[in-house]
Chain A
Amino acid sequence: MAGSGTAHLRGRDDVILRVQNLVMEFPTGRHQVVHAVSNLSFDIRRGETLGIVGESGCGKSTTARAVVQLPPPISGQVTLSPETEDAVELTALEGERLRQVRPRIQMIFQDPISSLNPRRVVHDIVEEGLHIWPERLQGQDIQAKVDEVLESVGIDSVVATNRRPHEFSGGQCQRISIARAVVLEPEILICDEPVSALDVSIQAQILDLLQEMKDRYGLTLIFISHDLAVVRNVSDRVIVMYLGKVCEVGDADALYSAPAHPYTRVLLASAPEPAKNVSGVEAAIGDEIPSPLAPPSGCRFRTRCPRAEIRCAEEEPVISAIEDDHFVACHFPILNGKQRE
């Protein structure tokens, strides 16, 4: 996977977040470094949902955390509203100035129960953000806002005033997490595997709710998941990641109907009910992801790639367009995917 490069970035006014050349590394004990995210770039337009998909360890969650500067990346830029006059470069901010920007990006996490404080009543959990930002709302308005948001996620606000998280089911706790994130009226909501811990019958309820909240509060979503079908369903644009790099970026339907990167095809062929435009044979790769301590040279996917040649070890592929809003970082992309559909 290669891919470095920024061909897939869009220089439009309505880009709300741009991440450029993001690098995230973690030192380990023995003078080694985990290369979690290497030279990753992407952008999101206002109101768009960006899906990030990949196997565990590919850096999807690290990317999300680096965007909110938890912790700040080693290098690279994370810019809010980059094409406007009030562009904010998050990596350049510290302390109070960074804190001032934080309400603009909120997050919800995978495990809904452990991400809520078990000792507090739900109403207080949702309300807390508004107390941290007293200049936004006061007194009665806070109550009204909390009630409104709880109502919109389908939690009875009277019940919420005297119950704690353990008295709610997993699906309801995820609704509460969404309420807590949305109450500050963020511009961007980062959802890190929001439905992975939920039962299948609850999953669709939460996905529907996210869509509803997006329309209602004008949110822009970053949606991280390992589930390819879920990502296609919710996303406008999808990034496929592998070992900290981008493989393929594009409009969700274009990417799924004509997957060009061998890794995207492997993922699609491995799903329990594989996509019809890839053959099952394509899933036949080794199941070992190389260690992020010493990622392969050149294209990082080459060690598992059925199409790898010498060039893939020597030269890192640069991301390039194969059609409108569909980009791939591969020396030997599969470009006839569409015909097979």
Chain B
Amino acid sequence: MSGALLTVQDLSVGFLTEQGLVRAVEGVSFVLEPGQTLGVVGESGSGKSVTAKALMNLLPSYSQISGNVNFGNRDLFSMAASREKHFWGVEMAMVFQDPMTSLNPVKKVGEQIAESLRVHLNRNRHQALAEAGDLLEQVGIPEPGKRLTQYPHELSGGLRQRVVIAIALACGPRLLIADEPTTALDVTVQKHILDLLDELRRDRGMAMILITHDLGVVKGRTDEVMVMYAGHTVEKSPTGTLFAEMRHPYTEALLETIPRIDTPKHSRLIPIPGRPPEVIEVLPGCAYAPRCRYSIKSCLNEQPGLKSHSAGHHCACHAPVGTPSGMEARAANEAAGITVAGLDMSQFSGIEDKAEEKRSGGED
């Protein structure tokens, strides 16, 4: 812990709306060591982007934030305003999902990169532009000299995302937060961008938080994965362990519901019934219980806390997958044909074998 770069403790974020308090993030904690990559996986509304924005101090002033975030030995939420200016963007930087809208359309690419160098590092205009050219080269943009004088609309989506990455890297951050950096891009470009981020991270010894809705993206690219659902961390584990022995029913369901490229056509997918809860409704129990095949009585009235299963592997579930209690719960639900939360189990019948096959096929 002593060497940790980022320590997040019990981070909660709420927004007061006309409908009530939206609890976007509830009690999220994690530790990131220098040079490590954390993958944050979840659907829209799970709180993954809000977590990132809280770290980047980008949330609107009316949001209710609590918890502790330490970067090195600095406490982020109590930092003096005078120091803030040269913290975000310098020590910690962010890459956003949509490269089309995260660049200024009426400013040349070179000036946009040079801007942060001039503001934060006091470079003069000439130096800053020269460094911007170097940065473009580092992010793999051909003919950087020519690109510096172009406007964002003259570049393709992939190039634009590289420019966004160059801006984020300009001041040599120690932590890069990438929020769905490839969701808007084609698969061929996606691979290039993910490879580039990985390479830059290694070269610079930078830590990275990679936010995505795609479990496939974090597999093999991250050291640790945190799965979020309705604002809560439901599972957190070293990446290898997670894919080998996932414990949370939601993680399992996420993996089973995605078609895989190497399963034959018309393989039956196992849908996750229902839809994610509105985070306004405060459920007394587990937020996933209404969609869960493993739910037991206590899921309905008692919120599960994160429990450790093996070194570094935590899961918030009363009846985790692959444990005696989980197997018992699932068998009981199957026998009853309906879960305690009222989920009809018949929709899953006949697909159990396939699920097994699919999972064993998925581990390599």
A residues neighboring B (CB under 8 Å)? 55-56, 169, 171, 199-205, 207-208, 211, 226-230, 232-236, 252-253, 256, 266-277, 283, 285, 287-289
Contacts and interface: CB of A to CB of B under 8 A. Distances in A.
Nearest to B220: A273
A234 B266 CA distance: 5
Given A204-B257, A253-B264, A272 B186 contact: no
Nearest to B186: A55
Given A200-B43, A267-B187, 4 more contacts: A55-B188, A232-B259, A252-B265, A270-B188
A285 B190 CA distance: 12
A253 B266 CA distance: 10
Given A55-B188, A226-B186, A283-B191, A256 B262 contact: yes
Nearest to B191: A270
A171 B275 contact: yes
Contact of B214 (A207, A267, A272, A285): A272
B180 to A, nearest CB: 13
Given A204-B270, A288-B158, A230 B259 contact: yes
A262 B254 CA distance: 31
Interface string B178-211: 0000000011111110100000000000000000
B343 interface: no
A285 B272 CA distance: 36
Contact of A201 (B186, B217, B257, B264): B257
Nearest to B192: A287
B191 A233 contact: no
Given A55-B186, A287-B188, A203 B261 contact: no
Nearest to A199: B43
- The 5 tightest CB contacts between A and B, nearest first, are A272-B216, A233-B259, A204-B269, A201-B272, A204-B271
B301 interface: no
Contacts, number: 120
B188 A200 contact: no
Contacts of B272: 201-202, 204-205
Contacts of A56: 157, 186
A289 B159 CA distance: 11
B123 interface: no
A169 B43 CA distance: 14
Nearest to A272: B216
Tell me which of A226, A230, A232, A266 has the highest count of chain B C-beta atoms within 10 A of its own C-beta: A232
Contacts of B191: 269-272, 283
B265 A232 contact: yes
Given A207-B259, A229-B258, A233-B259, A288 B156 contact: yes
Given A228-B187, A229-B259, A266-B188, A272 B217 contact: yes
Contacts of B44: 199
Contact of B216 (A236, A252, A271, A285): A271
B213 interface: yes
A15 to B, nearest CB: 20
Given A200-B214, A201-B254, A272 B267 contact: no
Given A229-B258, A288-B156, A289-B156, A201 B253 contact: yes
Interface in B259-295: 259-273, 275-276, 291
A202 B213 contact: no
B108 interface: no
Contacts of A229: 258-261
Interface in B99-138: none
A211 B262 CA distance: 20
B86 interface: no
B53 interface: no
Contact of B187 (A171, A199, A271): A271
A202 B275 contact: yes
Given A233-B263, A256-B261, A199 B213 contact: yes
Contacts of B216: 271-273
Contacts of A169: 275
